[in-house]
Amino acid sequence: MKILYTFAHVMGLFFPEGKIKNGGSCEFATNKCLKKCCAHKPGDGQKIKFEKKEKIFQFFIENPIDQIFDQIVLELRNSNCEIFSWFASGDCPSKLTTKLFEIIQKLDEVKIIQSGFTRNKKLWKLCKKLSSNCKVLLTIEDPNDIDEDGLYAFPNYKIGAFDIYCVKNQQQYITSGCGGGYYQDHMKKIKKEDSHLEMNCKKCYENRTGCFNDLIILKLKREKILASK
């Protein structure tokens, strides 16, 4: 069966959205997140029916790590795509944390570029150990909830996008965010196109924008050098 579908100009994984008791995978979602979820709302991009998402979810539950890994690599190759986006809808429930991390780790080892947003803090912590090709952001509602270094995403429900924060040594660096809401607003103001505003993971990786922003890394290095003088 096919388990990957187009998302943000790359290939993405669609798990069923919603509470576990309702057949969803969003164990850690807030009530506001569930209420504002855009998975079924009109908009750009491919919409995957809930029943198909359920079958994909069961494929990950029922099959061994190596089989899932091989299927992902096969579908990426067949799509001529080098980037994989986790949780285009849905999320990683606690029962799949270890299994999904092992798959993410195996993909990282073979140089597959990965990105994604999760509310599963344990999975996020594990992914921080991987290479810079793996960008998994922890989604939280309030910047005041930050308690350690890493990449964070804050839902901007007003415009339907994410604010992105990079935190290092208790210093916060904020990018322009990610998503079509930013893109539309940005185009109106300055008539310029940027990949992280358009929600294009491929261009973001190529241009080092959005969550792949090298400027964040350079700023952090510069801060460290200045601090050592």
Domains in the chain: boundaries = 1-139, 151-229
pLDDT of residue 171: 74
Closest CA to 152 of 190, 125, 133: 125
In this structure, what are the phi and psi dihedrals at residue 87, rounded to the nearest 5 degrees? 55, 55
Cα dihedral angle (74, 75, 76, 80), rounded to 10 degrees? 100
CB 75 within 8 A of CB 3: yes
Average pLDDT over residues 41-52: 68
Mean pLDDT value across residues 46-55: 87
In this structure, are residues 116 and 87 in contact, taking their beta carbons and an 8 Å threshold? yes
Burial label for 33, CB within 10 Å (0-12, 13-18, 19+), is middle
pLDDT (0 to 100) of residue 32: 92
Across the range 31-60, mean pLDDT stands at 81
Size (the chain), residues:
229
The percentage of residues in the chain with a pLDDT greater than 70, rounded to a whole number, is: 79
* First vs last C-alpha separation in the chain: 57
Provide the b/e sequence for 132-142 (b: ≥16 CB within 10 Å).
ebbbbbbbbee
